[in-house]
């Protein structure tokens, strides 16, 4: 794993956006794996700036999001569909037909998950995957457990994730208890991965990850140690040395 420790969140966001830009310049029709949550928001802001000021062209880019809550409508303000439109898609020249986010209201969820993985492969596989990390070490919604799913699946959220995400909802009772998430195998198939983390809250889990000495399903992000091209980009607050 490569590690970049940046001065602050703004710098981290710029470094991440520059990596995306660089990959886009090599392959304008790249397949980009996207994450939601607070961490990548600064990177998205920087990508929007690059589009508006420097003409960064998203017209041929294809995107796949990591996850979505089950049972939530795409128009719901807390859906990841809504989040992505609001935070990125509405501000760049991406073709919405090229943006894929799991459908939390699919009729046959199991079949839908299989098809999501197939579609990623049909489009050529993910060239660059953006990841955040949960305080509990989850990546996407792959929560610490005795086993982890290989492919895209429906999963139960842990109480700590429900609590962490309740900040976006009016009350904790409104947070969905299940989600569709790309599996660890889906994520590991990405050709290149960047994992972003900022702030003191992430320092403990980042320290564990950077030990690079153990792979355990209890720290799902540790699976990334097996991937040949992962760059971890964090700010000084998330770094404990």
- Extract the tokens encoding 91: 């501000």
Buried b / exposed e along 210-220 (16+ C-beta atoms within 10 A) = eeeeeeebebb
Site for ligand PGA in 122-141 (CB under 6 A): 132-134, 138
| Separation between Cα atoms, residue 190 and residue 31, nearest integer Å | 9
87 vs 225 by CB, closer to ligand PGA: 87
Rounded to a whole number of angstroms, the minimum distance from the CB of residue 110 to ligand PGA is: 24
- Tell me 139's DSSP state: B
Rounded to a whole number of angstroms, the minimum distance from the CB of residue 134 to ligand PGA is: 4
Residue 33 as a binder of ligand PGA (CB under 6 A): the answer is no
| Residue 162, helix vs strand vs coil | helix
Rounded to a whole number of angstroms, the minimum distance from the CB of residue 38 to ligand PGA is: 4
**List 6, 23, 81, 138, catalytic entry:** 138
| Separation between Cα atoms, residue 169 and residue 12, nearest integer Å | 27
| Separation between Cα atoms, residue 214 and residue 224, nearest integer Å | 11
- Is residue 136 among the annotated active site residues? yes
- Is residue 143 among the annotated active site residues? yes
CB-closest chain residue to ligand PGA: 37
- Is residue 76 among the annotated active site residues? no
**Which one of 25-33, 35-43, 106-114, 221-229 is the stretch in contact with ligand PGA (CB under 6 A)?**
35-43
Residue 37 as a binder of ligand PGA (CB under 6 A): the answer is yes
In the chain, helix, strand, coil percent, each to 5?
A: 40, 20, 40
Buried b / exposed e along 42-79 (16+ C-beta atoms within 10 A) = bbbbbbbebbeeeebebeebbbbbbbbbbebeeebebb
41 vs 103 by CB, closer to ligand PGA: 41
**List 136, 149, 165, 198, catalytic entry:** 136
37 vs 183 by CB, closer to ligand PGA: 37
Site for ligand PGA in 160-199 (CB under 6 A): none
Residues noted as catalytic? 67, 136, 138, 143
Residues near ligand PGA (CB under 6 A): 37-39, 132-134, 138
């Amino acid at each position: 794993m490569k590690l970049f420790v940046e001065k602050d969140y703004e710098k981290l966001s710029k470094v991440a956006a520059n990596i995306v830009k660089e990959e886009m310049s090599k392959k304008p029709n790249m397949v980009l794996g996207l994450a939601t949550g607070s961490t990548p928001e600064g990177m998205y802001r920087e990508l929007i700036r690059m589009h508006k000021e420097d003409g960064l062209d998203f017209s041929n880019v294809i995107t796949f999001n990591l996850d979505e809550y089950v049972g939530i409508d795409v128009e719901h303000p807390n859906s990841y569909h809504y989040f992505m439109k609001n935070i990125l898609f509405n501000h760049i020249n991406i073709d919405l037909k090229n943006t894929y986010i799991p459908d939390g209201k699919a009729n046959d969820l199991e079949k839908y998950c299989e098809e999501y993985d197939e579609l990623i492969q049909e489009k050529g596989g993910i060239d660059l995957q953006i990841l955040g990390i949960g305080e509990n070490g989850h990546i996407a919604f792959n929560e610490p457990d005795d086993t982890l799913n290989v492919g895209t699946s429906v999963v139960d959220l842990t109480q700590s994730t429900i609590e962490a995400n309740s900040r976006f909802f009016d009350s904790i009772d409104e947070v969905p208890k299940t989600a569709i998430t790309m599996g660890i195998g889906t994520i590991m198939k990405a050709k290149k991965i960047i994992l972003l983390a900022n702030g003191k809250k992430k320092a403990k889990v980042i320290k564990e990850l950077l030990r690079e000495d153990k792979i355990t399903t209890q720290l799902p992000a540790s699976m990334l140690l097996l991937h040949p091209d992962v760059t971890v980009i964090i700010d000084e607050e998330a770094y404990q040395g």
